[in-house]
Amino acid sequence: MVNAIIQVSRLDYLATRKRLTMKISSAGICAALMLVTSACSSSSVDVAVSAPTPAVTAEASPSAAVSANTSAKATVKPAATHRIDAKVVRVVDGDTMKVSFTEAGKLKEETIRLLLVDTPESVAPEKPVQPFALDASNYAKTMLTGKDVQLELDVSERDKYARLLCYLYIGDQMFNELLLENGYARVAYVYPPNVKYVDQFREIQKTAQQKALNIWSVENYAQEDGFHEGVVKGSPTQSMNSSPTAAPKTTASSQPSATTTPKPSAAAHSGASVTYNSCKEANAAGAYNIRRGEPGYSAKLDGDGDGVACEKR
């Protein structure tokens, strides 16, 4: 009896131990699973945290972008237009003047040639005065003589005659444009790189052509290759314009006066072939303002080379 009880107790003990062992094993497995899960989570977090941070490029940097942009602008920004203050000493003809200005503390005199425009010739050696030449020259004299002006240079500064090439300003207006606007000049001598204003000059010329002003009032007189006086009837020294010239946009102090053409000499009307040894001799004969091509004119009597000898002052 006692043995039976002991045997039963032993069996119960073994069964209980087995159940405990199974529970412990299950707990161990769960614990292990929890550890594995935890480890996986930890690994996942570590990976996320340790992932490399992308480098910030120069494009993403505002300061770098601003710096680059500023540098780029600096390379393409055109230089400010520089003008030289000057005074017109003498007008040679419509597109050529003598001016004075101060350079390095010294007063300097230069002959200037207006860029991209051409007026008819009034003082070309051994050539007759072309139609409208005196109109252009007198207009320039009235507008510019003794006036304070500004000179703007382009890329190449001088022509083959060593004349200073420029755009000339009187007040806030460019005189090159005024010549074109009033039909005293044509667009010409377009030689790169001195072509800064050529497009706007051509537009101004087109308007003068449509209005038939001065050189454009005679068909085929002003052409691409120059002026053709053969198509103009009458004296080449006379104004052939049949329509009024548009008034220049300028101040009252620089308006052209009503009388700008010098009085012709007596010799010019006589038709005689005469010569004078001096202006005194010419004046004694009643000859003043003798133009190139007229009887009595000679280069030795034309001291300033403007095409008019023995000028009456």
Q: Which residues are catalytic?
A: 113, 121, 163
Tokens of 136: 């252009």
Please check whether residue 93 is in contact with residue 306, taking contact to mean a CB–CB distance below 8 angstroms: yes
User: How far are the Cα atoms of 79, 97, 141, 152, 309 from residue 200, in angstroms, in the given order?
Assistant: 20, 23, 25, 16, 38
Question: ∠ at Cα 273 (267, 278), nearest 5°?
Answer: 65
Q: How far apart are alpha carbons 36 and 22 in whole angstroms?
A: 21
